[in-house]
Structure 1
Amino acid sequence: MKLTVIGGGSTYTPELVDGLARAHGSPAVSELVLADPDAARLEVVGGLAARMLARAGHPAKVVTTGDLDAAVTGATIVLLQLRVGGQAARHVDETLPLSRGRVGQETTGAGGLAKALRTVPVVLDIAARVAARAPGAWIVDFTNPVGIVTRALLDAGHRAVGLCNVAIGVQRRVAALLGVPPGRVSLGHAGLNHLTWVRSVRLDGQDVLPGLLDRYPDELAAIAGLPASLVRGLGAVPSYYLRYFYEHDRVVEEQRGAPSRAEHVAALERDLLAGYADPALDTRPARLDERGGAFYSEAAVQLVASLLGDRGDAQVVNVRNHGTLPFLDDRAVIEVPARIAASGPVPLPVPPVEPLFAGLIAHVAAYEELALDAALRGGVGRVAAALLAHPLIGQADVADRLARDLVAANRAHLPWAV
């Protein structure tokens, strides 16, 4: 089976390779293709990937290429983990909104919209090539903003599913608190990508979240990045991305006094790539933990194995709503547990969502629809409309100014803005 990774030169890639190496042949990958336009990075990352698989005794051949068409031809799975504009564009996403008093973050708010504008057209071009050269292949999207990108892929008729590491990360940390293997723990995880709440924690089928909130309030608060009193009051564990909503002004002040995450990651990537180039290195380096994306490898490998093996197990993915959250359009893309089979993911039933959460989900879902329209059709007016709809922006003058700022800063990646 041919597994192609678009953005294979990413410093994330050894995380994925480590997952494959530990998966004991399921999925049965015979060829791992790493595709990336950056030949220098690709050579370094590809070399480490080959050494890691060899050390594990994995039979897969590692192929590196800058030829996108060759990379996807005959693929069974195409995994997207690209970053249009690199860390330089991310730095703008994280700093430009601060000039207008809004949080700077690469997946939500104004920065998330800028990333969507750059990313959606590129991903759709890749998907069209996959459809032409690998009919029937599954596209697994790990590229942010996952919800918007997955919606774009599905609306265009592609076989796609979105993947995020937040849910598996929470599951692993909760299992550690309980002192049990992760397989015994399932989460009542619901919402949109990067806008989710864990509303139940089932241990062997029994909901133990109320007890966890009483016994481990500080530990659960640390997972959410929010005060323990707030988490206990919610009766749920929010994704740490909810801090941008629940503590927006405090986060803005923190960001104004600190380097951007992009600056930190750029420096870390230089160090990681220098380490990857060491011919003696043949294992996943511990410093990769600092890069983020914890448990990405396990989530990706599990999803691919279930899609190909028709396992029918439950995993948290980004999938069409189809009535699961009745207050959203059926076409919306939500992040919930789904049954994973060869025919694709099917969302599992979700208990009625509390108004406190449902209101914000509906608000952001409306923004995402407008954001996708702006990414597909362009126009400063459409960008401004999406920003106006976003709960973190919501004022006409700020939306208009940010729209002009974002378009100007990203002009090189927006053909319609030239």
Structure 2
Amino acid sequence: MNVTLAVVGGGSTYTPELVDGLARLRDTLPVDELILVDPAAERLTPVGAFARRLLRAQDHPAKVTTTADLDGAVERADAVLLQLRVGGQAARAQDEAWPLECGCVGQETTGAGGLAKALRTVPVVLDIAERVRRRNPDAWIIDFTNPVGIVTRALLRAGHKALGLCNVAIHLQRTFAELLGTRPDELHLDHYGLNHLTWELAVRQGGPDGPDLLPGLLDAHAARLAEHLRLPQPVLERLGVVPSYYLRYFYSHDQVVDEMRNKPSRASEVAALEEQLLAMYEDPALTRKPELLAKRGGAFYSEAAVALAAALLGGGPETGTGSVQVVNVRNDGTLPFLPDDAVVEVPARITAAGARPLPAPPVDPLYAGLIAHVAAYEDLALDAAVRGGRDRVARALLAHPLVGQYDRAEALTDRLLAHNTAHLAWL
């Protein structure tokens, strides 16, 4: 298997994390050419040069091509990885600021800020995907662009050959392995819900049918896990499962809003980190991934991306039978309380034919109710992203459990539209 991988948004400061993973995991995914696609030459040039040095330092033979020509890049790619940010960190900073004016969490993937990002992103991603389909219909599209659930739902509804990917599950798998003193690949997670709205219902040893280690894990390490998730320990003890750290925005909403109002935004932190990282990448003496990159986010992103691409392209450690990985995929009855066309984040068996979700265990109504609520919001958000219109935006905000009040939804709608006139064609 010889692979050409195209990365749309290749000028991201994330990209060296992916490149480092490609070098380390070359036996899993033998990449011949990595094509970094980005219109921002001021970012793409230093990232591309550093990517070449990273590969050379690890004796990896892959060619790194940098280009602004999307059509030419996807034409020869076996898989196209999407990691773009429409509007850049400036738009993210706005997404994190104006919701706070209305007493809501300001965050780039959920709530009102997440809706703004979806409205900007979905039309751009659908245009890219259509160009992939015209130029190279056999290529897989792997979406790492947030909000992953809504973007993947848009891709699948339009009939594209796509899956969504998030690093939450693989990050928690590594955390559990460290606490248990075992290898990550020995643990299987019963990870169910929607993107950035998931719960670990079991942590199984050896595979999907293995014994559940989660009760013992919580008994021994509840305090450390609570600190990691930034949730009170009694919350974990009451749930009896481990929620994604994004559940903090729901379970501790008002506390999070107060914190956000009284400290620098994550967007400002990331912008400063990106400036430092790009300066580092320009140093011709730098040949290893800098430690600073770990603060940028996306931990273990490269491992997840490599494993998924390898399985979709017919390789990987379990060639033939496929490998079980957590992905964002069409529901099709996996969670019976959701519509079939909802996109869920669940364990699935991955082969060259795509993803087949594993049978789901019963989901407690405590989680199922919130999952169904957010899934309904995502449907309305996608409708607003595809068709536009103030009323559709307001309906989506009114439906979101982090908004849910008419006056607040109206005020948020006004702010969202005012801050996004440059990115929404229908305005």
Instruction: Give the TM-score taking structure 2 as reference length.
Output: 0.97
The letter for the 1-side match of 2:118 is A
How do residues 165-314 of structure 1 correspond to structure 2 at under 5 angstroms? 165-204=167-206, 205-309=210-314, 311=319, 312-314=322-324
Aligned mate of 1:401, from 411, 414, 420: 411
Aligned to 1:415: 425
**Contact 1:192 1:334 survives alignment (8 Å):** yes
Distance in 1, matches of 2:276 and 2:123, equals: 31
Q: In 2, distance between residues paired with 1:223 and 1:361?
A: 23
Task: For 1:288, give the aligned amino acid.
Answer: L
Alpha-carbon separation, structure 2, partners of 1:127 and 1:178: 41
SS of match in other structure, 2:329: strand
Taking the aligned partners of 1:36 and 1:136, their CA distance within structure 2 comes to 22
Using the TM superposition, give the Cα deviation of residue 26 of structure 1 relative to its aligned residue in structure 2, in angstroms: 2.6
Structure 1 residue 161, shift from structure 2 partner:
0.3
Structure 2 CA distance for aligned equivalents of residues 317 and 184 of structure 1: 18
Structure 1 letter corresponding to 2:102: R
Cα deviation for residue 408 of structure 1 reads 1.3
Q: CA deviation at 1:52?
A: 0.7
User: Cα RMSD between the aligned structures?
Assistant: 0.8
Partner of residue 344, structure 1: 354
What letter matches 1:320 in structure 2? R
Paired with 1:223 and 1:319, the residues of 2 have a C-alpha distance of: 27
Tell me how many residue pairs correspond in the alignment: 417
Task: Give the one of 157, 162, 165 matched to 1:163.
Answer: 165
Question: Following TM superposition, by how much is the alpha carbon of 1:109 offset from its aligned partner in structure 2, in angstroms?
Answer: 0.1
Any runs of at least 4 consecutive aligned residues in structure 1 with deviations exceeding 6 A, and if so which? Answer: none
Unaligned 5+ segments in structure 2 are none
Partner of 1:135: 137
SS at 1:168 equivalent: helix
SS in 2 for 1:206: coil
Q: CA deviation at 1:72?
A: 1.1
Instruction: Output the TM-score relative to the length of structure 1.
Output: 0.99
Name the counterpart of 1:148: 150
Q: What SS class does the counterpart of residue 313 from structure 2 fall into?
A: helix
Displacement, 1:73? 1.2
1:318 to 328, 337, 349: 328
Distance in 2 between residues matched to 1:349 and 1:280, nearest whole Å: 50
8 Å contact from structure 1 (residues 316, 337) kept in 2: yes
Q: Kindly provide the CA deviation profile for residues 117-136 of structure 1, in whole angstroms up to 9, marking residues without a partner as x.
A: 00000000000110111111
Q: Which amino acid aligns with 2:283?
A: D
The 1-side partners of 2:44 and 2:295 are apart by 21
**DSSP-derived class of the 2:333 partner:** coil
Alignment of 1:67-106 (within 5 A): 67-106=69-108
SS in 2 for 1:106: coil
2:150 maps to a residue whose letter is: I
> How far off its partner does 1:34 sit?
0.3
Are the counterparts in 2 of residues 189 and 197 from structure 1 also a CA contact under 8 Å? yes
Residue 116 of structure 2 corresponds to 114
- Does 2:384 correspond to 1:374? yes
CA positional deviation for 1:40: 1.3
Q: 1:354 aligns with which of 332, 348, 364?
A: 364
1:18 Cα deviation (Å)? Answer: 0.5
